[in-house]
Amino acid sequence: MVYMMKFSNKAKKINSSAIREILKVTQSSDIISFAGGVPTPDCFPLEDIKSAMHDLMISKNFSNALQYGPTEGYLELRKWIANYISSREAITLTQDNVLIVSGSQQALDLVGKCFINENDDLFVTDPTYLGAIQAFSIYDPNFVPISQLEELTQSPQNNVLLYIIPNFNNPTGNQLTLEERNKITAYCNNKNMLIIEDDPYGDLSYSGKRSPSILSLAQKNTIYLGSFSKILSPGMRLGYIIAEPEIIKKLVQFKQASDLHTSSFVQYIVFNILNKNNFLVEHLKEIRNVYREKCTVMLKALNQYMPKSVSWNEPNGGMFIWLTLPNYMDGKKLLDMAIKKKVAFVPGEFFFSKEKRSNFIRLSFVTNSNDAIINGIRTLSLIISENEQANDS
């Protein structure tokens, strides 16, 4: 078709997120899907959102919420975030350190635009968030995957970026220890290297305890990405970037060119919700209880049904369990078989930035009932066992 010829070189290279394509297949109601990375709607604070909307509609701010706003974001919300993170991390931030964005996915794109030149070395953990690989790929970095921290600290490169999800990583569910955080920040400080700390899951720690953020350990060279998607609602598309004011100013210029600003209406509503006494503390307790229980149910089912050749991590927070299959097993082929038996998950290979490794799968447990989790894992275990037997014979 003639218009295909008109696409830019970047347009010719970009692909749809593999997960979004898989989700389309798995949305049928008779499928037990462990594929989505979405929060459970059971935890959306519907009544608080309704009452925040009502309060806004009868307040003198209503017209402002319907008007264009500053690119940096709604001042009261920026101040709230600066205070919240300052007291949580024992650091000092002001509104000048905060840029409101339309979800942290937009933050990844803005950071890519602002910092990545073609062929720049971009260190990423291996595996890492597929949406980050997709966002950064547009700017043609040289991805340097690291599976062990030592690979980073022994590398000779200078002046590069590191992208990292320290808390309950998507896809692995793993968390960095304090020692690892200290090592990373010491190394990056020494090399004068920028760290992009992506933290949508840190508040979902099952114990309620948080490790110090990379931001708190290396404030000058960290760009921290926060999101309300997993703790309020992803449909609101609200997140934020915390960085040094000079960096925020530059990011603002890119955001201006991209969408002028994030929805004022949503920002006012979210500010009204957050500003309610103790809302977040109580709401986070509720989400953590639900997610901890579902995680425990899945771990128990895995222990009961999975063959010995499969291993997995036991997360302390977040939404994901990462399964390692026997070397010869391919997650994509397994998905085709599983869908026929009405179970879905995401094959792990999409989360590797360079060398695709196929014997992994990501399971998300948060949107299923306990019964569905148990039945889905039992079915999946049977398929894997049958596969194993076929390979042995």
Q: What are phi and psi of 313, to 5 degrees?
A: -90, 165
- 2 by Cβ neighbours in 10 Å (0-12 / 13-18 / 19+) ranks as exposed
User: Among residues 37 and 347, whose Cβ is nearest to ligand PLP?
Assistant: 37
CB of 229 to ligand PLP, least distance (A): 3
Choose between 191 and 261: whose C-beta lies nearer to ligand PLP: 261
Closer to ligand PLP by CB, 141 or 200: give it.
200
Contact 347, 358 (CB under 8 A): yes
| Closer to ligand PLP by Cβ: residue 208 or 235 | 235
For residue 339, give both structure tokens: 């869908």
Q: How far is the CB of 336 from ligand PLP (least distance, A)?
A: 24
- From residue 78, give the alpha-carbon distance in Å to each of 70, 120, 236: 11, 32, 16
- The least CB distance from residue 393 to ligand PLP, in Å, is 40
Cα–Cα distance between 185 and 195 in angstroms, integer? 8
* 293 Cβ contact partners less than 8 Å away, ≥ 6 residues apart: 370
Which secondary-structure segment (H or E) carries 13?
helix 9-13
Q: How far is the CB of 129 from ligand PLP (least distance, A)?
A: 4
CB 203 to ligand PLP: min, Å: 13
Please state, in angstroms and rounded to a whole number, the distance separating the CA atoms of residues 262 and 267: 8
**Using CB atoms, what's the residue nearest to ligand PLP?**
103
Q: For ligand PLP, which is the closer residue by CB, 37 or 376?
A: 37
Half-sphere exposure of 138 (CA within 13 A, CB side): 19
Chain residues in the site for ligand PLP (CB under 6 A): 37, 103-105, 129, 131, 165, 170, 198, 200, 227, 229, 234, 239
**What is the nearest approach in angstroms of ligand PLP to the Cβ of residue 384?**
26
CB nearer to ligand PLP: give 93 or 366.
366
DSSP lists the bridge partners of residue 360 as 324
Closest CB to ligand PLP among 173 and 376? 173
At residue 311, the 3 state secondary structure works out as strand
Minimum distance from residue 171 beta carbon to ligand PLP (Å): 9
Nearest to 197 by CA among 173, 179, 172, 217: 217
